[in-house]
Amino acid sequence: MSSQNTINGSLRAIIEKALESASEAYVVNPAAETITELVDVLDGFEDAPTVRVLVPETPLKSVMDDFLIASVAADLIDAGVLSIHLLSEAPVNSLLVTDDAVVSLVTSAGTPAGLRSDNGEFVEETRTHFADVWESAGEHSLRTPPLSRVRSTLESELGPETRADFDAVLDSLSVARGDGDGLDEVTISLLVAARNEQLLYDISKWGEDVGLASKATFSRSKTQLEDRGLLDTEKVPIDVGRPRLRLVLGDERLHSADAGELADVAMNLQP
């Protein structure tokens, strides 16, 4: 016996309901908002199903440019919970295919809904089809390192205070993409390093080693922040070679801000 019904509620609630009893699932042609909610839902599950995402490159890139989402997705990939393959041609519908149901994700007048079918034959045919598509689609590798690795190495390399400030800044942001909508991960790292008066060499070496960005990218971002008056540097002599540069905050308003306010103050000070 089969049934068809509608799952109402927020997009997050629809995804949670569809995945709550699944052991594995395909998410096919998700919109950018769906990818964001999916990552957040999976991160909150104690026993998450294995989820395979089949997605065109454009919506995926728009989401993964946000460090807050990409770094958590990288953790889920590392844990074997999430994997991503790229679709060269997107199907008409956005689907969530679990062990026992196919849910079509639709939006009408701005309201999301999930149209669910548990017809056994239809579900099996759909799963088989997308299993074949999965095998032929190209795997996508995130360039963003897992957030857990970023945090643990930041603490071991630059100390618990720097890691705590980094976490506080991330917690204060809704996005971290550095295109005028939030701050990117390199800028966040430099501001936190400056708040703790770390050496540019140390923070940029850490960033390159963990896979956040190259030393050259850190250096360019440091120069841009200096030009905006957000950072300053002090020369620190060493026994051999050129002096190292210690990062310090450049504006008094940054000095007086706590870590959770640092990003907001920095964005307000930018031209």
Specify the DSSP class assigned to residue 92: S
45 and 67 in a single domain? The answer is yes
The domain tally of the chain equals: 2
170 and 113 in a single domain? The answer is no
pLDDT in tens, 177-186: 766 567 899 9
17 and 133 in a single domain? The answer is yes
Question: CB-based contacts of 2: which residues, under 8 Å, 6+ apart?
Answer: 117, 118, 119, 120, 122
Q: Which of 139, 169, 187 finishes a domain?
A: 139
pLDDT in tens, 82-125: 999 999 887 888 999 999 999 999 887 778 889 999 999 999 99
50 and 126 in a single domain? The answer is yes
Strands 94-97 and 4-7: unpaired
Q: What is residue 187's three-state secondary structure?
A: helix
Q: How far apart, in whole angstroms, are the C-alpha atoms of residue 217 and residue 102?
A: 44
123 and 157 in a single domain? The answer is no
121 and 151 in a single domain? The answer is no
pTM of the model: 0.91
For the chain, the farthest-separated pair of C-alpha atoms sits apart, in whole angstroms, at 79
Q: Which of 110, 139, 168 finishes a domain?
A: 139
Q: What is the pLDDT of residue 3?
A: 53
**Looking at this protein, which amino acid is placed at residue 138?**
G
DSSP 224-264: HHHHTTSEEEEEE--SSSSPEEEEEE-SHHHHHS-HHHHHH
**CATH classification at residue 189:** 1.10.10.10
For residue 1, pLDDT over 50 is answered with no
**CATH classification at residue 69:** 3.30.870.10
pLDDT in tens, 127-154: 999 999 999 998 998 999 999 999 999 9
The CA angle 57-186-33, to the nearest 5 degrees, is 35
30 and 92 in a single domain? The answer is yes
Range of the domain at 229: 147-269
178 and 132 in a single domain? The answer is no
Q: Which of 139, 158, 183 finishes a domain?
A: 139
CA dihedral 146, 152, 154, 156 (to 10 degrees): -150
